[in-house]
Amino acid sequence: MTQPTPNPRAAFWRGFKAATPFILVVIPFALLFGVVAQEAGLNLLQLMSMTVLVIAGAAQLTALALLQEHAPTAIILVTALAVNLRMAMYSAALAPHIGKAGLLTRLWISYFLVDQSFAMAIQEYEDRPEMTINEKVAFFFGTMVPIAPLWYGATLVGALLGSQIPPEFSLDFAVPICFIAITGPMLRTPAHVVAALVSVVVALSLAWIPYSMGLLVASVLAMMAGAQTEVYLQRRRANA
Provide the whole-model pTM: 0.73
- Contact between 168 and 39 under an 8 Å Cβ cutoff? The reply is no
Residue 222 vs residues 197, 198, 234, 236: alpha-carbon distances, Å:
8, 5, 18, 21
List the alpha helices (DSSP H) in 99-189: 103-111, 115-127, 133-144, 148-161, 174-183
The whole-number pLDDT of residue 182 equals 54
Cα–Cα nearest to 139, from 4, 19, 3: 19
What separation in angstroms does the CA of 220 have from each of 158, 216, 226?
Answer: 34, 6, 10
Single out the residue of 21, 6, 4, 56 nearest to residue 143, CA to CA: 21
Q: How far apart are the first and last CA of the chain?
A: 36
Domain limits of the chain? 8-186, 187-240
Per-residue pLDDT of the chain (240 residues; tens, 9 = 90+): 455 677 889 999 999 999 998 888 888 888 888 888 887 788 889 889 988 988 887 788 778 878 877 778 888 888 788 778 778 878 888 999 999 999 999 999 999 999 889 989 998 998 898 999 999 999 999 999 999 999 999 899 888 886 666 655 555 555 565 556 556 656 667 877 888 888 889 888 988 887 667 777 887 888 888 888 888 888 888 887
What pLDDT does residue 1 have? Answer: 46
